[in-house]
Amino acid sequence: MWSENRIPVQSAAENRPLKRHHTARYYAHRVKESLTTRVSKLICAIFLGLLFFVGIITFILWLSLRPHRPRIHIQDFSIPALAQGAGFENALIIYNATARNSNQNIGVYYDTMQVTVFYQDLIIGGSPVLFSFFQEPKNTTIIAGQLSGATLTVTSQRWQQFMADRARGEVVFRLEITATIRFKISTWDSKRHRMHANCPVGVGPDGLLLPSYRVKKCPVYFN
C-alpha cells in the first residue's frame, strides 16, 4: 500500500536532457557560414594590406617631391648718399639678393616679382623686376637693381630721420620681395602661389650694409 506522505521518485532516465539531433541541412548551413566569414576576413586583410602599401609609397613620394620654399638671402644693400652727406635729391638705394631653389627634382617658375623698401613700416620705394624666369632644381638666381628717382620717394623730412639714425650708428630698413611662383614637377605645374620674403637690412654711417645683415636668410611665407 502507498502511504499518504510518500512522494514518487523520478528515475534517472527521466532527468536526463533530451539530445537534439541536427539535420544535414543545418550542418551545411554552418559550414557555408564559416567559409563566408573566412573569405570576408581574407578580403578585408588584402584590402587593408594594399591600403597600407599605397600609403607608404605615397608618403615616400611626398617626402621626396614635396616642394621646399625658395630661400632668399640678402647679399648687399647700400645708400651711398648717406656716406657722402648729400641731400635727399641724390638718394639712391642699391640692392642685391639671391633666390635659391633647394629642391632636388622640382623647378620654380617666377612669373612676376616686386621689390619694395620700407622704413619704419612706411614704403619709401619699390619697382617690379622686369623679367620672369624659370629656376632649375639646386640653382641660385641673383636679384639685383637700384631704386632712384620715380621709384624712390624720400622726402626732406624722411632724409633727416635717416641722418638722425646714421648719427646713432645704424639705419634700419626692410626689403620685401613679393613674387608669384609655380612649382614644376616633371610635366606637371602647380597652381600659382603668392610668395613674400621680408628681409631686415641695416646700413652704417658709410651707407653700406652692416656685416650682421650680410648673407642673412629672409623669412618666407605664402598667402
Q: pLDDT tens across 75-105, in order?
A: 999 999 988 766 777 789 999 999 999 998 8
Q: Do 95 and 202 have their domain in common?
A: yes
What residues form DSSP beta bridges with 94? 78, 146
Residue 210, domain member (yes or no): yes
Q: Do 43 and 15 have their domain in common?
A: yes
With a threshold of 0.85, does the pTM exceed it?
A: no
Domain count of the fold of the chain: 2
Bin 149: left if φ > 0, else alpha if -120 < ψ < 50, else beta.
left
Q: Give residue 100's pLDDT.
A: 96
Q: Do 151 and 187 have their domain in common?
A: yes
Q: Do 42 and 55 have their domain in common?
A: yes
The CATH number of residue 191's host domain is 2.60.40
Which residue range forms the structural domain that includes residue 37?
A: 8-66
Average pLDDT over residues 169-173: 96
Residue 2, domain member (yes or no): no
Please provide residue 179's backbone torsions phi and psi, each rounded to the nearest 5 degrees. -145, 150
Closest by Cα among 67, 176, 69, 198 to 113: 176
Q: Show the cell assigned to 131.
A: 623679367
Q: Show the cell assigned to 166.
A: 646714421
Q: What is the pLDDT of residues 193-209, one digit of tens each?
A: 999 999 999 999 999 99
Q: Do 35 and 127 have their domain in common?
A: no
Q: Do 141 and 208 have their domain in common?
A: yes
Q: What is the pLDDT of residues 98-141, one digit of tens each?
A: 999 999 889 999 999 999 999 999 999 999 987 889 999 999 99
Q: Cβ distance 111 to 181 under 8 Å?
A: yes
Q: Do 21 and 36 have their domain in common?
A: yes
- Above 50 in pLDDT, residue 223? yes
